[in-house]
Chain A
């Protein structure tokens, strides 16, 4: 940022350098308080069994939990499964939902409002309520115990459609109208104008979809039986044994599972900033 830029930026909305620093300090304090519980999780990963719940300093630190997680359990396989499922759902969902959101916001076609309301009403029902009928539907389609059963039902969720529709409603029309008058087809408009414009929101959504599927538990547990299809959350929960706990493995596994998502988030969130700089609106 240039000197002039930063001066204008700081001057924006009347924030003085001093109060800016105060806000930064407050923000930092709040952030540290937010992640303190998570820091506890990372520290506890290296504690041994009985020490997990004792609140003093650990008697000795050990790598055995991590070793166990990776050697005694096929954890890499579960990480791979989860990655495949989450990525597939994210990619498909982003494409389909941005198309649908754009159509619902901008394109006029018969029955548009009714379709939107119908789609939205599916949003009001959560998994625990429809899990039995959904299981029946998936079973009838022959998708039980397969990657398809894990991926396909998870793609269709009205949340993304709704958010993107709201977003596209707020995008000024000039660009599209000019393109239409130039004779551009709708698919072209979508690809060349709409998609680049929606990069910030799509990036955010990609993170959210990926995370939601990375942490999904109830559906993967219900639809799969084979151990080779396990996702990480099912694996983590399976560490808890009847009457023996093994929380040190649970926490170690959770730490392992959290690291990739942090990395991905760091990767994507810079994308959000960059795309603002290059956005066609400025």
Chain B
């Protein structure tokens, strides 16, 4: 796994060495603990604590004005019969299945496209990333105007192709696809950057060697790029799945653009939870559903971790 350092220094023999190794180990432990401490504390207070509170609240009926009533598993039982909740889970599943591969492929493809060091690539990088810099309120307005019935740019263009009367955001059969498309437009720059970070980590010598051996572009991609990108790929898949299921961005887009409509076609689970908590004053019920969602996510991520051996991908 490790090559011995060239020009190695002498290693003292005997008891002093054992002492140095032990104190070395000790120093590593202390350093590790100290390095991790600030983040650990912060996450505990500002993320862990609220999460635990939320889990606890799932066992209460909370009226939102300070009234707490212990109800045990009533909220969880209610969930099983809540048609709207189950529907929201189905919508979320569809959203994840559509969004995650789209983000992965678009991020990867764009990173490949712009990884070269040239003025053009620099420009392209900025342009692809530009959507990320706009507030979601404005994203909603822009796409509203582009996708609006009859006179929107997209409608006019599709009319040229002979397709009329499509309402991308107003038709329950089409709305979720439109939201996925807009999400990809908004997020692909982000994933492009992540993949760029990973790509730039791959030493150029590998590609040079492959080229000299006469390998094709596709072979290089398959045998050099993809394997060495495993940690990045793992990261991207994980992050995009978590973001699609429980993330703020999915929520923000739905909240600003469709409010869960038309006819509940874009009512993601996280939006439904928000509605229950803040529109219907059912904080306890909302927390219970959120807990279920987090448990599902945890199961998914544990699977992913186990599948990839802790996401380590140590290179030999």
Q: Do chains A and B touch in the complex (CB under 8 A)?
A: yes
State the A residues within 8 Å of B (CB): 1, 8-9, 11-15, 23-24, 26-28, 30-32, 34-35, 37-38, 40-41, 53, 55, 96-97, 99-100, 102-104, 107-110, 112-113, 115, 118-130, 132-134, 136-138, 152-153, 155-159, 161-163, 166-167, 169-170, 172-174, 177-178, 180-182, 185-187, 190, 200-201, 204, 207-208, 211, 214-215, 217-218, 232-233, 236-237, 247, 250-251, 254, 257-258, 261-262, 265-266, 269-270, 272-273, 276, 281-282
Task: Give the Cβ gap from A60 to chain B, nearest Cβ, in Å.
Answer: 20
Among candidates B124, B231, B246, B287, residue contacting A126 with C-beta atoms closer than 8 Å: B246
A13 touches B217 (CB 8 A): yes
Tell which of B46-54, B75-83, B97-105, B168-176 binds the partner.
B46-54
Task: Give the Cβ gap from A187 to chain B, nearest Cβ, in Å.
Answer: 7
Task: Give the Cβ gap from A153 to chain B, nearest Cβ, in Å.
Answer: 5
Q: Is B165 an interface residue (CB 8 A)?
A: no
Given contacts A35-B130, A107-B32, contact A126 B38 (CB under 8 A): no
Among candidates B45, B138, B248, residue contacting A251 with C-beta atoms closer than 8 Å: B138
A12 touches B29 (CB 8 A): no
A27 touches B124 (CB 8 A): yes
12 additional contacts (CB under 8 A) given A121-B298, A236-B138: A13-B215, A14-B211, A55-B145, A96-B42, A100-B35, A109-B29, A121-B51, A122-B43, A136-B50, A159-B239, A185-B27, A257-B135
Collect the chain A residues with CB atoms within 8 Å of residue B232's CB.
166
Q: Is B18 an interface residue (CB 8 A)?
A: no
Given contacts A108-B28, A109-B28, A130-B51, contact A31 B127 (CB under 8 A): yes
Q: Is B33 an interface residue (CB 8 A)?
A: yes
Task: Give the Cβ gap from B303 to chain A, nearest Cβ, in Å.
Answer: 13
Q: Is B24 an interface residue (CB 8 A)?
A: yes
B136 touches A215 (CB 8 A): yes
Q: Is B177 an interface residue (CB 8 A)?
A: no
Main secondary structure of the interface of B (DSSP, over half): helix
Collect the chain A residues with CB atoms within 8 Å of residue B152's CB.
55
B127 touches A122 (CB 8 A): no
A170 touches B46 (CB 8 A): no
Given contacts A13-B221, A34-B130, A115-B36, contact A110 B137 (CB under 8 A): no
Q: Is B114 an interface residue (CB 8 A)?
A: yes
B47 touches A122 (CB 8 A): yes
11 example contacts (A-B, Cβ-Cβ < 8 A) are as follows: A13-B217, A30-B128, A38-B134, A38-B142, A40-B142, A41-B142, A129-B273, A130-B54, A133-B51, A152-B42, A281-B203
State the B residues within 8 Å of A (CB): 1-3, 5, 8-9, 11, 24-25, 27-33, 35-36, 38-40, 42-43, 45-51, 53-54, 57, 110, 113-114, 116-117, 120, 122-138, 141-143, 145-146, 151-153, 185, 190, 193-194, 196-197, 200-201, 203-204, 207-208, 210-211, 215-217, 220-221, 231-232, 234-235, 238-239, 242, 246-248, 251-252, 270, 273-274, 277, 283, 286-287, 290, 293-294, 297-298, 301, 310-315
Collect the chain B residues with CB atoms within 8 Å of residue A23's CB.
113
* Docked complex Cα distance between A163 and B242 (Å): 14
Task: Give the Cβ gap from B234 to chain A, nearest Cβ, in Å.
Answer: 7
A133 touches B145 (CB 8 A): no
A132 touches B36 (CB 8 A): no
* Docked complex Cα distance between A15 and B247 (Å): 39
Collect the chain B residues with CB atoms within 8 Å of residue A208's CB.
190, 193
Given contacts A215-B136, A236-B135, contact A166 B311 (CB under 8 A): yes
Collect the chain A residues with CB atoms within 8 Å of residue B194's CB.
163, 204
Given contacts A38-B131, A173-B2, contact A124 B32 (CB under 8 A): no
A187 touches B216 (CB 8 A): no
4 residue pairs, one from A and one from B, having the closest CB atoms = A107-B32, A109-B32, A186-B31, A156-B42
* Docked complex Cα distance between A120 and B246 (Å): 14
Collect the chain A residues with CB atoms within 8 Å of residue B47's CB.
122, 125, 130, 156-158
A14 touches B40 (CB 8 A): no
Collect the chain B residues with CB atoms within 8 Å of residue A136's CB.
50, 53
Given contacts A170-B313, A254-B137, contact A155 B5 (CB under 8 A): no
A100 touches B36 (CB 8 A): yes
* Docked complex Cα distance between A107 and B11 (Å): 22
A177 touches B203 (CB 8 A): no
Collect the chain A residues with CB atoms within 8 Å of residue B33's CB.
103, 109
Among candidates B46, B54, B127, residue contacting A129 with C-beta atoms closer than 8 Å: B54
Among candidates A37, A99, A187, A236, residue contacting B146 with C-beta atoms closer than 8 Å: A37
B46 touches A178 (CB 8 A): no
Collect the chain B residues with CB atoms within 8 Å of residue A272's CB.
196, 200
* Docked complex Cα distance between A258 and B136 (Å): 12
B46 touches A169 (CB 8 A): no
* Docked complex Cα distance between A186 and B201 (Å): 24
Given contacts A13-B210, A126-B246, A254-B138, contact A96 B38 (CB under 8 A): yes
A170 touches B143 (CB 8 A): no
Among candidates A124, A129, A174, A217, residue contacting B301 with C-beta atoms closer than 8 Å: A124
